[in-house]
Structure 1
Amino acid sequence: MVNKSLLRLACIAFFAAVIIGRTSAQQIAATPPMGWNSYNCYGSAVHEDEVKANARYLAKYLKPYGWQYVVVDFLWSYDNPPGSNIGNPFQKNLQDGSFIPWLTMDKWGRLLPQPTKFPSAFGGKGFKPLGDYVHSLGLKFGIHVMRGIPRQAVWAKSPVLGTKGITADMIADTTSKCDWMNHMYGLDMSKPGAQKYLNSILDLYASWGVDFIKVDDISRPYHTAEIEGYHKAIVHTKRPIVLSISPGETPLKDGDHVKKYANQWRMADDFWDNWKELLHMFNYARNWQGMGGPGHWPDCDMLQIGKLSKRGPVGPERYSKFTDNELLTHMTFWCIYRSPLMMGGNMPENRPYDLKLLSNNEVLAVNQTGQNPKELYHNDESMVWYSQVPGSKDIYAAVFNLKNEDSDVSLNLLALGLKGKVTVRDLWAKKNMGSYENTYQQKINKHGAALFRLSAINR
């Protein structure tokens, strides 16, 4: 006879484990992730030695400030021809129905890193050696993946690991295709084996030591079932892996869902070093204000700082086209808004000013600790955002000059709830500016910004 008390306890334990598993996936990324991503400087053509060089730079210069992720972006399974820039494998059917070019893939339909670009992956080792190297520096390792399952796996009818008799063609949704990358099909998550396939690839990534995955072609249009599938697969691994989804614009109507199942999500399409795009980003961020918090962050996209587009993907090789003032605005807004901070430039080529932007501990504290960022006001000439300093009544305030000329910009202290005398500290300069009542005013360069900590005296 079944002991009802033991059965009841077993059920409680089971559901508690499920709840804890779900919760733990959201407990990671308690603060906005900070790191480097290869896309903006190398496109699809990054090589292992370049990833390692950026990892070493991050460990030496930025790890003390909280930077930790090293992320290999897209098409790591594709063999870029020598000297090529960004690659987009055009998969077409041969006479027998097979695909060219053939991406590096195991017998279970799971893509593997191409050994000509990642020599340590030779012999089926995957990204584990590179992940181990990144971890040896005290950092965390991440990869980019495309939503779904490789078309070549569907053609080959690759078996799905962990199932009996289920093959890739039985779980693919061949009507679900990315409109700018043609080597994957979507997954029909209602089909038996679809979740098992996602579990199998996340198990593989976990065995490589992956700490962060950026899943592309999933948030615009918004693929609800597949997003839940990746989340479940991460929980299944029992490894704390950050789930980042892209590209934007993620639909606002799905805000509650994305907060539950992803750790960060793109608000806009790819962001580049253009002042008009920066102005547009303010609008996207305004729409999403109030939605960020521990474990779930609206993402302004990568930092366009330093050396960009060494091998594509957009424009010629260059240092960021942003002026120094615009770079200051760029970094200041990402910090006050609490966006994830993913450096896009090739860091070994950083200029002194680039490093200065990335290594101000007082500024980075705004990104990592500021609470409830909000816009105070905006118009065509200026903008102010603010957040709360945890454990105090102090305020972080970011002031932006949007005009095409240097201008005095005023900060209304009363509107921020600060009465009487207020101490103003300039966080970029790490300098106290004095005490003021009611209003603080400062000249700010064209397209520039300032970031302050405001402390009421005797409050």
Structure 2
Amino acid sequence: MALTPPMGWNSYNCYGSAVHEDEVKANADYVAQNLKQYGWQYIVVDFLWDFDNPPGSNIGNPFQKRLEDGSYIPWLAMDQFGRLTPNVNKFPSAFGGNGFKPLADYVHSLGLRFGIHVMRGIPRQAVWAKSPIKGTNGITADMVADTNSKCPWMNHMYGLDMTRPGAQEYLNSILNLYASWGVDFIKVDDLSRPYSTAEVEGYRKAIDQCGRAIVFSTSPGATPVDKADNLKRNANMWRMADDFWDEWKAVLQMFNYGQQWEGIGGPGHWPDCDMIQIGKLSKRGPVGQERYSRLTLDEEYSHMTFWTIFRSPLILGGNLPENREQELKLFTNDEVLAVNQHGTDPRQLYKNDNAMVWYSHVPNSKAIYVALFNLDEQQEALSVDFASLGLKGKVAVRDLWEKRDVGTFKKGYKKVINRHGATLLKLTLLN
């Protein structure tokens, strides 16, 4: 799975917990009509699809309240086996026990793939209800929960004690349910900070036994770099950092995270810079007022260029039907997207206070992709020295964002780049 970095859309940055079925379909339609031909394919419903958000509500991270009898309100949509199901007020097609299958079928009918966000562990309300675990003989939710393992920012779940009989069976049961719905992608939250090794491995086993190919994404970060080997064996993508938002300082910080993880990504396993903060954000939360990205256009190019050269998964976070021409242009450059999907072994060449250069290799070729970033507060002329990349002789330079051949050069290439801007080049040795 995920032999190249996954590309798609996620509902979180524009709708928080409050996305509704018609909005998911509208974004899927947009991808099918405008982006699918460029490789974009995943449509992912982010968190709290089991929670009731009335139309127009703005709830970000709702908590449950525990009553005197130990039960919880609001009660999350859940089946008899302690498995959360879509709230039918937000996802009407789930009515009658259909789950996400009708919505997944709709996404699949467009030639796209369907994904969901889930929280690590088992619902606290299932523990209170002593829900039976499917596939076991008499084991109930309270017998497998680790009640000391709690998410610090949402009180819906307990962790699983993977040493207990029935814990793996619970994960198997939810993945079997997701597979029956037609899920192609799961983003499992609260796995990486702290890193929950046993549960990461448990989700991997559950996916492997469910009979469906499902991409496994872990969240959030910062994921410990020393867990890279475990991640490469078990996950397809993992978050390098906490939630990324539309601020230049966050882009700069992501450059640092990228350097920490360089050389680790590859087919089937990708360090993840988080969603792309371009387009209409925060329509109903979760951070700030409804807006188009606060990044300048030059900063958006730097944002897209780094995610591309680093080979991060490309998951769009804005509400796509509200895209303007500038967003569409950033998402539909086939030469740029080829760098993300096919460039090999991305590395940082150098970085200082004013500039940064990354490069990767064009497969089956001596050509090299190079990204130049102006980190300064003013326009600067940035250069790349060909010898530093092992290129000796005449080199043809192509500007990938502009889709034009710049010319032939011998020692290096220099370009004036706007404040906080970037350029992406292809350098081809001619002799």
TM-score scaled by structure 1? 0.93
1:234 and 2:220 are equivalent in the alignment: no
- Paired amino acid for 2:358: W
1:404 and 2:366 are equivalent in the alignment: no
Match of 2:38 among 52, 56, 65: 65
Q: CA deviation at 1:416?
A: 0.5
Q: CA deviation at 1:82?
A: 3.9
* Aligned residue number for residue 84 of structure 2: 111
Match of 1:308 among 281, 286, 290: 281
* Aligned residue number for residue 9 of structure 1: none
* Aligned residue number for residue 127 of structure 2: 154
Which shows bigger deviation, 77-86 or 231-240? Answer: 77-86
- Paired amino acid for 2:59: I
- Paired amino acid for 1:140: R
Matched residues in 1 for 2:324 and 2:254: separation? 25
- Paired amino acid for 1:325: D
Quote the sequence identity (%). Answer: 70
- Paired amino acid for 1:150: P
1:375 and 2:348 are equivalent in the alignment: yes
Q: Secondary structure at the match of 1:176?
A: strand
Matched residues in 1 for 2:64 and 2:165: separation? 27
* Aligned residue number for residue 298 of structure 2: 325
Contact 2:54 2:90 in 1 (8 A): no
Matched residues in 2 for 1:315 and 1:97: separation? 34
* Aligned residue number for residue 446 of structure 1: 419
Q: Secondary structure at the match of 1:175?
A: strand
Matches within 5 A, 1:134-173: 134-173=107-146
* Aligned residue number for residue 247 of structure 2: 274
Matches within 5 A, 1:94-243: 94-243=67-216
Deviations 1:9-39 (A, max 9, x none): xxxxxxxxxxxxxxxxxxx000000000000
Matched residues in 2 for 1:132 and 1:454: separation? 43
Matched residues in 2 for 1:87 and 1:67: separation? 27
Q: Secondary structure at the match of 1:181?
A: coil
Q: How many corresponding residue pairs?
A: 431
Call closer, same or farther: CA 1:218–1:49 in 2, change over 3 Å: same
Q: CA deviation at 1:291?
A: 0.4
Larger Rg belongs to: 1
Matched residues in 1 for 2:64 and 2:247: separation? 32
Matched residues in 1 for 2:55 and 2:406: separation? 54
* Aligned residue number for residue 291 of structure 1: 264
In the alignment, structure 1 segments of 5+ residues that lack a partner are: 1-27
In the alignment, structure 2 segments of 5+ residues that lack a partner are: none
Q: CA deviation at 1:350?
A: 0.3
* Aligned residue number for residue 322 of structure 2: 349
Match of 1:338 among 300, 307, 311: 311
Matched residues in 1 for 2:65 and 2:209: separation? 34
Matches within 5 A, 1:24-39: 28-39=1-12
Contact 1:80 1:87 in 2 (8 A): no
RMSD: 0.6
1:365 and 2:338 are equivalent in the alignment: yes
Q: CA deviation at 1:261?
A: 0.5
